[in-house]
Amino acid sequence: MTEFWRRVLTGNDWLGLALIGAFAHMCYITLLLKGYFATDLSAFYAAGLAIANGTPDIMFDTVPTGLVIGTPERIQSLMADAGLPIDQTPPYLYPPIWAYLLAPLTRVLSIHTFFDVMMGVQSFMLAMMPWIGYRIARPRTLKAPIWLLCGFFLLFVSTTNLTAVAQNQLQITVTFITMLGLLALTRGKSKTAGVLIGVAAALKIAPAAFGLLLLIRRDWRALAAMAVTGLGLLAISLMFGGLPLHLTMLERLQDINAATILSRANLSPEMVLYELRRVVLSIPPNVTRMGTSAVFDAPAWIQILPKLCVLGALIWIVIIHLRHHTTVGLDALVLSLAVALFGPLSWMHYFVLPLALTPILFTVFTPRTSWLWVIAGGFLTSVALTVRLSDLNQDVMWSPMPATGYYLALFVALLIHAAVMPRCKTANGEISAISAT
């Protein structure tokens, strides 16, 4: 133990320093938000409670006018019977297996104890992401202590991270597992990488997109491990919940995909296009912009264009990799931005992964350009700017636009730069983008 502290204090053990920082962050956040009712995580608990009470069919109930907001009527009754707030639990949109695994715990853990435990675990995970992102990137032009300080700073100023913490969002766990999988991939541990990414994809569907990364790298062992893990967990989920429950989940996702979600927490280009079209054509708002709502009157091109963008981006990623053999880090950053920006939903907390992979910028751009991107991201996604612009959300949803613009600009810049400048700087020196990763 004495040797550990000596190495930390002399700057010879940055992992140790990262662990200490993560532990401090865990203690601070857990104490700060102790007893706080995390609305997003409450959906997870409510689903487990529904199963424990023998009513799994109400798990995927929704509010017809909200889809992702509001508490369904039967869930309200469930929460009322448990003596819990009845109007703060959004619909559950995760695979059934996790609700079935949580169900027994709802008998022994109160919802607030569950929140506190998850807050401790997830705040530690979130604070470790700057270090893991640095190890995935291994940038030659960025020193570990500098990025750790910057990464911890972003934890407290970016709406991306703070929204995830405030909601105690399961996205933190999903991102952490995905990053461990990417780190294992950079170290040549294919089976471990595949298993971890498969688990992440079983928690939330989005990480399944990283199967493309394994495919273009022709890492068949990782791809097989991911497939076996994912299909295995799916089989268990089907065994627990049955096929009808899973089909209901897919129906809910299709309903969300058919709507345009208006929210200050949604960074979707689809929403931005919808709002800008209204401004240009002087179309009056049909729903309030002060909360979250779903609209179904968006022109077809507004919904189709983002899907074409993500399809084109995925094809572009494959072409660039086949031509220039881009690194795991660069492929992962571009893919994570594509999934977060152009998926059915683009909640702020979906960008935890792209933000954690920021050190990869230092393997693509010059140090000066990279720092400009970091500073711009810190400002445009900051809580201060978002809160200030939220006051303007009377007729138009202005507050998410700076963050959406930043992530979209970064996404395009990375695609272009990867195509014309296929050389990357890593800890191994100036090499072709075919890195040791």
* Full 3-state SS string of 178-226: HHHHHHHHHCCCHHHHHHHHHHHHHHCCHHHHHHHHHHHCCCHHHHHHH
Q: Let me know how long the chain is.
A: 437
What is the pLDDT at residue 176? 95
What is the pLDDT at residue 380? 93
What is the pLDDT at residue 421? 59
Please name which of 132, 98, 92, 176 lies closest in space to residue 352, comparing C-alpha atoms. 176
- The whole-angstrom separation of Cα 328 and Cα 137 is 8
Check if the beta carbon of residue 173 is closer than 8 Å to that of residue 165: no
- The whole-angstrom separation of Cα 57 and Cα 376 is 46
- The whole-angstrom separation of Cα 330 and Cα 220 is 20
What is the pLDDT at residue 290? 57
What is the pLDDT at residue 7? 52
Residue 108 CB-density burial (10 A; 0-12 exposed, 13-18 middle, 19+ buried): exposed
What is the pLDDT at residue 287? 60
Give the containing element (helix H, strand E) for 83.
none
What is the pLDDT at residue 5? 45
Please name which of 284, 404, 239, 246 lies closest in space to residue 337, comparing C-alpha atoms. 404
- The whole-angstrom separation of Cα 425 and Cα 8 is 27
Please name which of 132, 199, 135, 122 lies closest in space to residue 161, comparing C-alpha atoms. 122
Which parts of the chain have pLDDT scores under 70? Answer: 1-14, 16, 64-68, 285-291, 324, 421-437
Token digits of residue 49: 């409670």
- The whole-angstrom separation of Cα 242 and Cα 235 is 10
Please name which of 242, 18, 335 lies closest in space to residue 145, comparing C-alpha atoms. 18
**What pTM did the predictor assign?**
0.88
